[in-house]
Chains A and B, each alone.
Chain A
Amino acid sequence: DTAVSQTPKYLVTQMGNDKSIKCEQNLGHDTMYWYKQDSKKFLKIMFSYNNKELIINETVPNRFSPKSPDKAHLNLHINSLELGDSAVYFCASSPKIGGPQHFGDGTRLSIL
Chain B
Amino acid sequence: QQQVKQSPQSLIVQKGGISIINCAYENTAFDYFPWYQQFPGKGPALLIAIRPDVSEKKEGRFTISFNKSAKQFSLHIMDSQPGDSATYFCAASPFSGGYNKLIFGAGTRLAVHP
Contact = CB atoms under 8 A, between A and B. Distances in A.
Q: How many B residues touch the partner, as a band?
A: 20 to 34
B104 A42 contact: yes
B98 A97 contact: yes
A100 B104 CA distance: 14
B103 to A, nearest CB: 8
Contacts of B107: 41-43
Contacts of A4: 43
Contacts of A90: 43-44
Given A42-B106, A42-B107, A43-B89, A97 B43 contact: no
Interface string B12-44: 000000000000000000001010101001111
A106 B43 CA distance: 6
6 contacts: A40-B106, A97-B99, A98-B95, A98-B96, A105-B42, A106-B43
